[in-house]
Amino acid sequence: MSIKKITEINITGKKVLIRSDLNVPIENGIIQSDARILAALPTIELAVQKKAKVIVMSHLGRPKEGYYTKKYSLFPIFKYFQNKFKSTKIHFSNNFLDDVVIKPGEIAILENTRFNTGELNNSEILSKKYSNLCDVFVMDAFGSAHRMQSSTYGIGKFVKIACAGLLLTNEINALKKALKKPKRPMVAIVGGAKVSTKFNVLHKLSKLADTIIVGGGIANTFLAIDYQIGKSLHEPDFILEAKKLRDKYNIIVPIDSRVGKNFCKNEKSIIKSPDNIAEDEEIMDFGDQSIEKIVDILKKSQTIIWNGPVGVFEFPNFRKGTETIAKTIAHCDAFSIAGGGDTLSVIDMFNIKNNISYISTGGGAFLEFIEGKKLPAIEMLEEKFKK
């Protein structure tokens, strides 16, 4: 994989358009987690230090394309940048498709790319307008690298110079380290609600890892192979596929679970074995025996890939499995790489950010890279490098 990097280009005095991933949770104009912004800052800071004319663009949420929606405005992120770069002039532009006027060493934050008609279907007209804003395009949004859209992919066809930012470069290097020649034993934890969306990654990881630990609704689908699991979240249509995987690979499923009758924050948890779950109960976390077994596996591992919580960690009584596993990963000696939106929330909740070897900002991109798929944005950078 050969791509041009921002560190290999003279960007001083040039208009540099950085496609970041600033898709952070915002409620009532207040940023709830700045993890993705902090991950994007090194590239932006480098460009400012080099006295480039720095233009930053990103999407936020899923607004109706072509329409301004205050809820999805990047204005709160502009205010965040004003506070972060106190000695740097920061501009905010919501009408930028013709030009962005900016001086060297300044930053312009552009309004949500998804407000622009044609963004999602990779419009050539929009892609060309983006390219006309800059001398150099920097793709640094790993979390959007799997999307073939105007601001992540289409712009590459028209811009003269396209390169990878520091974040994208680090993401690629970290994932390669985990996937190509991992230190063993290698353990993969795959949680989340739907097994159907993660079968491809489970197949890939099953061939690569020594042990797969499944949690959440994914684990429930595996449990449903042999047990009646009440009203637990699972996917009946994928039980047969789950059985094929379980019979072929070393996949660890819970041997006991925390269950409740109501899906609510204050519901009390009861620990039960999978053969003893009533029709009106649902599995929402691992039980203590399962946690003990998994902790033992993790402590002996040398490489850990972690995607997704193993239970309803938002509810205090169903948090123990996710919390214990997260803290075990954080304090063991293995090279650990974690990715996915809910995983980032868990890392924030338990304040273990500094104890994970590498935290990926990608969700879908993280999974697709693991599956071995070519990410369109990276493919675009490779083609640009060849030319």
Residue 35's CB: how many other CB atoms inside 10 A? 18
Catalytic residue among 13, 118, 230, 364: 364
Catalytic residue status for 321: no
Catalytic residue among 194, 272, 327, 353: 194
Residues in contact with 91: Cβ distance below 8 Å, sequence separation at least 6, in sequence order: 100, 102, 106, 107, 108, 109
Buried b / exposed e along 202-216 (16+ C-beta atoms within 10 A): bbbbbebbbbbbbbb
Closest by Cα among 204, 167, 168 to 186 = 204
Catalytic residue status for 364: yes
Between vectors from CA 74 to CA 72 and to CA 76, what angle results, nearest 5°? 105
Catalytic residue status for 194: yes
Catalytic residue status for 311: no
Per the CB < 8 A criterion, the answer to whether 126 and 154 are in contact is yes
> What's the one-letter identity of residue 161?
I
Catalytic residue among 36, 53, 258, 384: 36
Q: Which two tokens stand for residue 269?
A: 């948890």
Catalytic residue among 341, 362, 363, 384: 341
Binding site for (2R)-3-phosphoglycerate: what residues are annotated?
A: 36, 114, 147
Q: For 166, phi and psi rounded to 5 degrees?
A: -65, -40
Q: Return the active site residues.
A: 36, 194, 341, 364
